[in-house]
């Protein structure tokens, strides 16, 4: 009896170690997409080694299979559709290349940074501005200037998006697929009409709307304040009414948060929060919660990027539209119509320079980027992509997108989404401090003071 | 006997496997964490030695005080909740007359089995603005509706409760295991002496399980000090970092701001705090023989 | 039960409380099951707590087709079993030596290992992965098992220490008299006595390894053949939106084996504990 537990423990250890030993066989530097039997995987590894010695992209056309690992998002339609399309197209253009998808985690870059720190960076990865800036210091992101030229990427890039390709030091580190993007103030037309309300142009109008909706138990504006970027955007749409540079100017240091316009904006947001613009638990609301509220008609307004047009139209049809941001008075409302919150960010597909197939990976990254743009135009009805794809959408653009396209030429200034900000200290501060304002438990004075202190 | 229990080879053989794994995969990394906390490092480039700069910045950071306050609240809430309920339930289900005790024992342990994500999702649904709890208050006609997770000062108590609720089951299981290993004749003797059930447990169970309780105390308190996951899921540290802890500061600095050195300084302070707590608890709960030995030593010195 | 007759009302209130608390502990299971059959709209707006109707069983189909569930399952199982077996083995020996054997540095050694309880995994992640690489363990299941052992070791040793301390010294004295050597004494006499602790620890360590996400994502996230079940949730988190129903289905798939293991084991716990008790008496 007494021996039993020991012997069973030993058995377990033995069994475990022999089983685990199998894991050794599955080890490979360039793993296959599916769980291939051990032998097959090993040959693949040696093949990858071969191509390493060849090292030029043209040599790989000789028919050797190459597996490239790619770190990108793959979950909802906005991320799955472009990826699947790109993979399909890749099969034809590069029949010898296979992709090993590593699904990106929602973890503020924790996984990617750890992979980089331990030399396990995938061949191709989706890089944000922050990642680009961090990795270029340690030479873990490939300079793509030549590839961008040779593949014709630069020629296809829209002029307005040129700045999205180049990092601060003037090099290209990532192929952007998103173009200029905008923060839109969505509203439910039907809810406004049913309650006899006009689209608010001034903050006084907005306060009236808030009052009416609250009396009807409708959330005036559903914010997903658990995500710092949404609260920062809520501040930015007000700040840009007073100072067109918005949070971008603060990020670049060309303006200070104690400047009059920014203080006024903070006070205004404080006032609107106190009046009940957002739902009570805005700071613990996630994206899906807030979005479902808006789409089901429980909330009258919503602040999100233009990429939301597709989903909003699908759910609400003609009942949804976006409005120009309200302002202090009618004059500044008109004047502010050309100043938008949001903007493009230097981000996109980047390449690991230490990859065994770096040159090929760079080409493939460029190819995938193009295909992402095409898929976004064709199947996601989003023409705001980085490059001119020459493709047409499979159905007509939604009305809101048309309205945005008509407005685009008159837009004179944009700001940044938080992921496009370059100063990570400011980025962290604006996200949390704006969340403080939205919670209604931090004052505008605290907001200004804290950001001021952090920036010193 | 002394020689028997002091078998050098046996000690070495017994201690070595654990020590080897611990040193390689835990202690060496901890040393590196301390070393890097004195540098300006983004996780990738070569670190530059910056002396105490990270620590000075840390102690003057507005969030540092908030984090420590939160950790203390968190630690106290979970310690009191878990030890109290775990003891009560463990004694209850150890009573062979209790009906359905097998079922109860499984039930209390269920939250431990589920992943933290599931438990936090559940509670965020219950605690959200229009969640179950507020609805119950509404139906009851009470005005006690709260923004449970969004309050600058009170949210931390709520988060601590969620953690305490989930992990109570584990301390419960430990105490049950402890009670099982107490010979039943101890209780027989107590009964013959005319002790009531509760009294018997107060006199026998709790003193005999001193080590288990000491251990429970350490995991509760240090669990509070290093809390992170619940905040990350339930509030994201908000509003405006008011539910941060030192671990959260580390996460935020290292991954959101690419300021690894600073983050590791926060982690180092946290580890030191945990060590301090452990040493204090060990001191308070000194073994009786240890105390006797100390006493002897003192007498020797006096003589 | 002397007090039973005296305070029946209080006693009944207490029993009712115990059952309500138990129901409250079981509720997440039912909630998770319901959740996994819902859409985002039902979860957040129309039906957050009720029975899911219509049943969106397609969540399970999505979960099953998006990733290789059986493979991930086997990986999780192997990693968890490996972790449990080695951790228990090491912790048993270590705690015995530090709690009952006599040597100079034992308190120091014990507290030294206790350090492991305090370190958040995010802080040591980069050094740990580098060490795992240094030993050439990358791409094997050991790359997860060793760090998991290290993480769980301190905890397990502390639990055992408490249990070993509670055993009277006379047992070893008797064994010594009978001529058993220290190894025989440990494995045949002492080890069975702490079996209740062992069983509790097996469950706890198993769950820890089974549910671990952060390290698994970094170490085996890029190796399809070695991925573990918790990594499945990644397939449901988009840049902005999350498919919560699909995630619920993934969590049910991941949790139910653990619950089944526990239910089976908890029977064993009961019998293991009675054996321990009998030997003791």
The beta-carbon neighbor of C182 closest among B4, B108, B178 is: B4
| Token pair 């020629």 in the structure block, residue | A155
The beta-carbon neighbor of A116 closest among B44, B236, B239 is: B44
Query: CB–CB of A424 and B257 under 8 A?
Result: yes
pLDDT value of position B296: 66
Asked if B213 contacts B230 with a C-beta cutoff of 8 angstroms, the reply is no
User: Which is nearest to B235 in space by CA: A430, C39, A435, C42?
Assistant: A435
pLDDT value of position A48: 39
Question: What distance in Å separates residue C127's CA from the closest CA in chain B?
Answer: 5
pLDDT value of position B283: 86
Question: What distance in Å separates residue A441's CA from the closest CA in chain C?
Answer: 25
Q: Which residue has the higher pLDDT, C118 or B163?
A: B163
Instruction: Compute φ and ψ for A187, nearest 5 degrees.
Output: -145, 155
pLDDT value of position B114: 86
Q: Which residue has the higher pLDDT, C215 or A34?
A: C215
The beta-carbon neighbor of C238 closest among A24, A29, A73 is: A73
Mean pLDDT of all residues in B129-155: 86
Q: Give the HSE-up count for residue A154: Cα atoms under 13 Å, Cβ half-sphere.
A: 12
Query: CB–CB of C32 and B103 under 8 A?
Result: no
Q: CA end-to-end span of chain A, whole Å?
A: 70
pLDDT value of position A124: 96
Query: From B130, which residue of chain A is nearest by alpha-carbon distance?
Result: A281
Asked if B151 reaches chain A (Cβ–Cβ under 8 Å), the answer is yes
The beta-carbon neighbor of C235 closest among A69, A103, A288 is: A103
> Long-range contacts made by residues B154-159, C-beta under 8 angstroms, separation at least 24?
B155/B235, B155/B239, B155/B242, B155/B243, B156/B70, B156/B73, B156/B74, B156/B242, B156/B243, B157/B73, B157/B77, B158/B127, B159/B74, B159/B227, B159/B230, B159/B231, B159/B234, B159/B235, B159/B243
Residues of B in contact with C254 (CB under 8 A): 115
Q: How confident is the model at residue B57 (pLDDT cuts 50, 70, 90)?
A: very high
A452 membership: H or E segment, kind and range:
helix A444-455
Asked if B250 contacts B61 with a C-beta cutoff of 8 angstroms, the reply is no
pLDDT per residue rounded down to tens, chain A (456 residues): 444 444 444 444 444 444 444 444 343 333 333 333 333 333 333 333 343 334 444 444 456 789 999 999 888 888 899 999 999 999 999 999 999 999 888 788 888 998 998 888 999 999 999 899 999 988 999 999 999 999 999 999 998 898 899 988 899 999 999 999 999 999 999 999 999 999 999 999 999 999 999 999 999 999 999 999 999 999 999 999 999 899 999 999 999 999 999 999 999 999 999 999 999 899 999 899 999 999 999 999 999 999 999 889 999 999 999 999 999 999 999 999 999 999 988 899 999 999 999 999 999 999 999 999 999 999 988 888 999 998 889 888 999 999 999 999 999 999 999 998 989 899 999 999 999 999 999 999 999 999 999 887
Asked if A143 contacts A173 with a C-beta cutoff of 8 angstroms, the reply is yes
Question: Quick count: other Cβ atoms within 10 Å of Cβ A217?
Answer: 7
Ranges assigned E (strand) in A266-378: 299-305, 320-323, 348-351
Mean pLDDT of all residues in C17-36: 91
Residues of C in contact with B92 (CB under 8 A): 14, 18
Mean pLDDT of all residues in B253-266: 90
pLDDT value of position A50: 40
DSSP string, A375-417: HHHHHH----BSB------SSPPPHHHHHHHHHGGG--B----
Residue-range domains of chain A with CATH? 2-179+345-396 (3.40.190.10), 181-343+412-455 (3.40.190.10)
- A-C Cβ pairs (cutoff 8 Å, strict): 163
pLDDT value of position A215: 94
The beta-carbon neighbor of B112 closest among C3, C207, C274 is: C207
Cis peptide preceding C54, ω within 30 of 0: yes
Cis peptide preceding C35, ω within 30 of 0: no
pLDDT value of position A5: 46
Query: CB–CB of A78 and C240 under 8 A?
Result: yes
User: Which residues of A have a CB under 8 Å from any CB of B?
Assistant: 107-110, 113-114, 116-117, 130, 134-135, 137-138, 140, 225-228, 279-285, 289, 424-425, 427-428, 432-433, 435-436, 438-439, 441-442, 450, 453
Name the most confidently modeled range: A102-111, C72-81, C178-187: C72-81
Q: Give the HSE-up count for residue B182: Cα atoms under 13 Å, Cβ half-sphere.
A: 23
The beta-carbon neighbor of B240 closest among A108, A140, A432 is: A432
User: Going by C-beta distance under 8 Å and a sequence separation of 6 or more, which residues neighbour residue C114?
Assistant: B278, C154, C157, C158
The beta-carbon neighbor of B44 closest among A117, A227, A438 is: A117
Asked if B29 reaches chain A (Cβ–Cβ under 8 Å), the answer is no
Residue of C83, C118, C181 to mutate for B, most B C-beta atoms under 10 A: C118
Cβ density class A24-62: b for 16+ within 10 Å, e for less: eebbbbbbbeebbeeeebeebbeebeebeebeebeebee
Q: How confident is the model at residue C3 (pLDDT cuts 50, 70, 90)?
A: very low
Strand partners, A387: A157
Query: CB–CB of A134 and B255 under 8 A?
Result: no
pLDDT value of position A119: 87
Question: What distance in Å separates residue A267's CA from the closest CA in chain C?
Answer: 29
pLDDT value of position B254: 87
Cα-to-chain-centroid distance, residue B189:
35
User: Which is nearest to C145 in space by CA: B25, B288, A11?
Assistant: B25
Q: Which residue has the higher pLDDT, A86 or B302?
A: A86
Mean pLDDT of all residues in B232-257: 90
The beta-carbon neighbor of B240 closest among A109, A114, A435 is: A435
pLDDT in tens, B212-233: 888 889 888 888 888 898 998 8
Strand partners, A97: A66
- What whole-number distance in Å separates Cα of residue C233 and Cα of residue A328? 45
Asked if C208 contacts C82 with a C-beta cutoff of 8 angstroms, the reply is no
A72 membership: H or E segment, kind and range:
strand A66-72
Return the partners of chain B (3 or more C-beta pairs < 8 Å). A, C
In degrees to the nearest 10, what's the CA dihedral of A389, A391, A397, A403?
A: 40
Give the percent of chain B with pLDDT over 90. 42
pLDDT in tens, C118-161: 888 888 888 999 999 999 998 899 999 999 999 999 999 988 98
pLDDT in tens, C216-231: 988 898 888 999 988 8
**The model's pTM:** 0.86
Residues of B in contact with A109 (CB under 8 A): 255-256
Strand pairing report for A299-305 and A320-323: unpaired
pLDDT value of position B292: 64
Asked if C78 reaches chain A (Cβ–Cβ under 8 Å), the answer is yes
Q: What value of ipTM does the predicted structure carry?
A: 0.87
Q: Is A219 helix (H, G, I), strand (E, B) or coil?
A: strand
| Token pair 């069994």 in the structure block, residue | A15
Mean pLDDT of chain C: 86
C195, exposed or middle or buried, with CB in 10 Å at 0-12, 13-18, 19+?
A: buried
Strand partners, A299: A219
Query: From A31, which residue of chain C is nearest by alpha-carbon distance?
Result: C223
pLDDT higher than threshold 50 for residue C280: no
User: Which is nearest to B200 in space by CA: B212, B189, B213?
Assistant: B189
pLDDT value of position A61: 47
Q: Give the HSE-up count for residue C237: Cα atoms under 13 Å, Cβ half-sphere.
A: 13
pLDDT value of position B247: 92
Query: CB–CB of A26 and C223 under 8 A?
Result: yes
pLDDT value of position A249: 95
Query: CB–CB of C123 and B198 under 8 A?
Result: no
Q: Which residue has the higher pLDDT, A234 or C211?
A: A234
Lowest pLDDT segment from B199-203, C14-18, C47-51, C113-117: B199-203
Query: CB–CB of A134 and B258 under 8 A?
Result: yes
HEC readout, chain B:
CHHHHCCHHHHHHHHHHHHHHHHHHHHHHHHHHHHHCCEECCCCCCCEECCCHHHHHHHHCHHHHHHHHHHHHHHHHHHHHHHHHHHHHHHHHHCCCCCCHHHHHHHHHHHHHCCHHHHHHHHHHHHCCCCHHHHHHHHCCCCCCCCCCCCCCCHHHHHHHHHHHHHHHHHHHHHHHHHHCCCHHHHHHHHHCCCCHHHHHHHHHHHHCHHHHHHHHHHHHHHHHCCCHHHHHHCCCCCCCCCCCHHHHHHHHHHHCCCHHHHHHHHHHHHHHHHHHHHHHHHHCCCHHHHHHHHHHHHHHHC
């Amino acid at each position: 009896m007494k021996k039993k537990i020991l012997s069973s423990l030993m058995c377990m250890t033995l069994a475990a170690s022999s089983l685990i030993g199998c894991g050794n066989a599955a080890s490979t530097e360039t793993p296959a997409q599916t769980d291939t039997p051990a032998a097959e995987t090993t040959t693949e590894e040696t093949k990858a080694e071969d191509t390493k010695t060849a090292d030029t992209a043209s040599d790989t056309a000789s028919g050797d299979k190459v597996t490239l690992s790619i770190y990108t998002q793959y979950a909802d339609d906005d991320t799955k559709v472009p990826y699947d399309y790109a993979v399909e197209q890749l099969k034809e253009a590069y029949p010898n290349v296979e992709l090993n998808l590593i699904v990106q985690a929602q973890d503020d870059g924790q996984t990617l940074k750890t992979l980089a720190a331990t030399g396990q960076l995938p061949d191709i990865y989706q890089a944000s501005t922050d990642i680009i800036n961090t990795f270029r210091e340690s030479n873990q992101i490939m300079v793509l200037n030549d590839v961008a030229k040779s593949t014709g990427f630069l020629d296809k890039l829209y002029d307005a998006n040129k700045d999205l390709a180049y990092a601060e030091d003037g090099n290209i580190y990532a192929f952007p697929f998103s173009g200029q993007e905008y923060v839109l103030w969505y509203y439910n037309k039907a809810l406004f009409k049913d309650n006899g309300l006009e689209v608010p142009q001034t903050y006084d109008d907005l306060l009236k709307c808030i009052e009416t909706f609250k009396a009807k138990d409708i959330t005036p504006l559903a914010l997903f304040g658990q995500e710092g970027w949404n609260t920062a955007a809520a501040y930015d749409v007000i700040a840009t009414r007073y100072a067109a540079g918005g949070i971008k100017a603060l990020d670049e240091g060309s303006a200070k948060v104690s400047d009059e316009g920014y203080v006024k904006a903070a006070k205004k947001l404080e006032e609107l929060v106190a009046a009940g613009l957002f739902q009570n638990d805005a700071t613990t609301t996630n994206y899906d919660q807030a979005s479902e509220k808006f789409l089901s008609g429980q909330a009258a307004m919503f602040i999100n990027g233009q990429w939301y047009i597709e989903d909003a139209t699908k759910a609400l049809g003609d009942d949804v539209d976006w409005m120009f941001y309200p302002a202090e008075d009618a004059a500044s409302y008109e004047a502010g119509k050309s100043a938008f919150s949001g903007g493009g960010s230097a981000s996109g597909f980047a390449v690991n320079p230490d990859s065994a197939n770096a040159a090929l990976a760079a080409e493939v990254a460029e190819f995938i980027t193009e295909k992402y743009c095409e898929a976004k135009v064709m199947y996601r009805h989003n023409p705001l992509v980085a490059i001119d794809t020459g493709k047409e959408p499979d159905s007509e653009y939604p009305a809101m997108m048309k309205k945005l396209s008509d407005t685009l030429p008159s837009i004179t200034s944009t700001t940044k989404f938080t992921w496009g900000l370059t100063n990570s200290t400011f980025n962290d501060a604006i996200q949390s401090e704006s969340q403080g304002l939205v919670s209604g438990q931090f004052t505008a004075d605290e907001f200004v003071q804290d950001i001021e202190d952090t920036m010193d | 006997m002394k020689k028997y229990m002091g078998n050098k080879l046996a000690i070495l053989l017994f201690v070595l496997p654990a020590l080897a794994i611990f040193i390689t995969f835990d202690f060496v990394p901890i040393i590196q964490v301390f070393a890097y906390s004195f540098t300006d490092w983004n996780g990738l480039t070569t670190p530059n030695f910056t002396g105490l700069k990270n620590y000075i910045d840390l102690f003057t950071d507005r969030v540092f005080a908030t984090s420590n306050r939160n950790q203390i609240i968190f630690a106290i809430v979970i310690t009191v909740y878990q030890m109290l309920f775990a003891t009560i339930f463990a004694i209850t289900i150890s009573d062979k007359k209790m009906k359905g005790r097998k079922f109860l024992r499984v039930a209390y342990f269920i939250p431990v089995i589920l992943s933290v994500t599931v438990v936090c999702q559940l509670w965020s649904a219950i605690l959200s603005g229009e969640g179950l709890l507020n609805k119950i208050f509404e139906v009851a006609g009470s005005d006690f509706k709260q923004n449970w997770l969004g309050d600058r000062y009170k949210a931390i108590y709520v988060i601590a409760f969620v953690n305490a609720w989930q992990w109570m089951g584990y301390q419960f299981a430990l105490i049950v295991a402890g009670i099982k290993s107490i010979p039943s004749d101890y209780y027989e003797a107590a009964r013959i002496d005319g002790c009531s059930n509760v009294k018997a447990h107060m006199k026998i169970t709790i003193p005999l399980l001193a080590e288990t309780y000491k251990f429970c105390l350490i995991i509760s308190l240090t669990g509070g000090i290093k809390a992170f996951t619940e905040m990350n899921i339930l509030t994201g540290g908000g509003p405006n970092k008011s539910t941060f802890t030192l671990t959260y500061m580390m996460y935020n600095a290292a991954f959101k701001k690419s300021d690894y050195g600073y983050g590791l300084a926060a982690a180092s302070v946290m580890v030191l705090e945990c060590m301090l707590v452990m040493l204090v608890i060990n001191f308070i709960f000194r073994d009786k023989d240890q105390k006797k030995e100390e006493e002897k030593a003192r007498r020797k010195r006096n003589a | 039960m002397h007090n039973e007759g005296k305070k029946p009302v209080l006693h009944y209130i207490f029993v009712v409380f115990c059952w309500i608390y138990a129901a409250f502990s079981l509720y997440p299971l039912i909630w998770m099951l319901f959740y996994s059959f819902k859409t985002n709209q039902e979860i957040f707006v129309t039906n957050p707590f009720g029975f899911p109707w219509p049943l969106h069983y397609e969540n399970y189909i999505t979960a099953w087709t998006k990733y290789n569930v059986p493979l991930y399952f086997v990986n999780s199982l192997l990693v968890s079993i490996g972790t449990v077996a080695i951790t228990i083995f090491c912790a048993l020996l270590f705690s015995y030596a530090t709690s009952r054997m006599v040597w100079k540095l034992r308190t120091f050694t014990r507290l030294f290992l206790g350090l492991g309880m305090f370190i958040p995994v995010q802080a040591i992640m980069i050094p740990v992965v580098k060490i795992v690489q240094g030993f050439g363990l990358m791409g094997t299941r050991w790359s997860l098992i060793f760090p998991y052992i290290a993480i769980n070791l301190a905890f397990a040793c502390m639990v055992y220490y408490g249990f070993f301390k509670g055993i009277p010294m006379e047992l070893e004295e008797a064994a010594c008299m009978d001529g058993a050597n220290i190894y025989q004494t440990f494995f045949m006499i002492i080890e069975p006595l702490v079996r209740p602790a062992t069983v509790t620890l097996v469950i706890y360590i198993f769950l820890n390894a089974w549910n671990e996400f952060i390290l698994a994502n970094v170490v085996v996230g890029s190796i399809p053949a070695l991925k573990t079940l918790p990594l499945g949730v990644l397939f449901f988190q988009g840049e902005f939106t999350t498919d919560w129903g699909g995630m619920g289905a993934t969590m049910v798939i991941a949790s139910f084996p653990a619950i089944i293991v526990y239910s089976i084991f908890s029977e064993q716990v009961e019998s293991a504990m009675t054996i321990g008790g009998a030997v003791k008496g």
